[in-house]
Structure 1
Amino acid sequence: MDKHDKESKPWEASFSSEEPAQKYSRSANRRKSRQVSVIVGLFVTIIMILSFIPIYNYLQELNKPNNTTAISALSSAKTTTSISKVDKVTKSEKKAAQKASSEKKATSASEAKAKSESVAKAKSASLAKSSSAASSASASSSSSSSTGTTAVFSSGTLYSFAVSHDTTPEALYTLNSGLTASNYTSYYGKSLRVK
C-alpha cells in the first residue's frame, strides 16, 4: 500500500495518529463551557450590583428633601405652638395686671370717697357748731341789745366810731343788723348799738 491509499482511507488510521488538539472529549468541553458560563454570569451579576449602587444613592438623595421639609414643618409647628403658648402667657399676665390695676383704682376711689365723706361730715359738724355758736351769739346779742347801750354815729369811719366806744367793727356788724363795711355811711346821724 502506498501513501496515496492511506490518505484516501482515514478509517483505517489509528487513534494515535490524531492531532494533539483533539485529545479532549465532549464531556470535558461541556464542563469547560459550563464553567465559562458560570464565570460570565457572576461577572454580569457583579456589574449589575455595582451599577445599582449609584441608582440607590440617587433615590436616597431624592427622598432626603422630603424628610428635611417634614422636619422643617415639624420645627415650624413646634415654634408656632411655643409662640402661641408665650402669647397666651403674656395675655394672661396682661389681664392679671389690668385686673389688679382696676382693683387698685376701685379701692383708691372708694378710699377717696370715704375720705371725702368724712371731710363732708366734719365740715357739716363744724358748720353745725358754728351755727349753734352764731345762734347763741345772736341770742346773747339780742338779750344784750334789749339791755345794751346805744350811741349816735355822727361822722367819721366805722373803725374810729368803734374805737371811741371800746368795741370793734365786727361787734358792730353783729349788734346792728344790716350794717356792713360798704354801707356804714348811710347810718350817719342814726343811733347804733354799741354793747
Structure 2
Amino acid sequence: MMGREEHLVELVDDGGRVLGETTVAAAHQPPGRLHRAFSVLLVDPASRVLLQQRAAVKTRFPLRWANSCCGHPLPGQSLTDAANRRIAEELGLGPVDLSEVGVYLYYAEDPATGRVEFEYDHVLRAEVPADLPIRPDPDEVADLRWVDPVAVLADLDTDPRAYAPWLGGVVNRLLHPVGVARSGAPADEAPERSGGR
C-alpha cells in the first residue's frame, strides 16, 4: 500500500488541464490538491454494477462501498492503461474494454483518517459477462456485490455513510453520461469534513 502512496499523480485545474505533479500521499493531505483520477464501473448483462467494499487498510474511506475499482493514472499514462492495471491489481481480472462516460469533480474529507479527496474523476464503464471470474486482492477489497445502479442511488439517500462519497456522482455519470459534474458543495461546506478515500 505505501508503495502506491509514493506514485506520482497529475495535478490539474478544474478543466482537466495539467498543472504539474505530486505524490498520491501529498495530493490527499489537507487541504487537498486537485488531481486526475478514474473510477471504473463494471456492468453485467442485467445492467447491474459491481460494487466493492474497500479494504480496512485503505488510507481513504476504508470499509465503505464504492465503484468496481478506482485509482490514478501516472503522469502521461492513458486512462485505459491505468484503469486496466488497477482492475488487475484489485480484482484479478485481465484487461477489459473501457469507455469514458463523463467526468465528476468532487471534494470530500474522510472523518476517520483526515485524508482528503479532491479529484477530477474520469468515469469509465466496461460491459462484462455475468460469470466474470473475479479474484479480489484482500488487501484492496473486503467484499463484492452486484447491484442495480438505481437502487444504489436510493440507498445512498438513506445510508450515505455506508458508501464512499464519490459513488453517487460516479453512478450518476453512468446513468446520465455528460461532461464535468461538480459536487455542488463548496470545499468549506463539503460533506464528511475532517475529523479521507
Same fold (TM over 0.5): no
TM-score, length basis structure 2? 0.18
Whose radius of gyration is greater, 1 or 2?
Answer: 1
State TM-score, norm by structure 1.
Answer: 0.18
Greater relative CO (CA pairs within 8 A, separation 6+) = 2
Higher strand share: 2
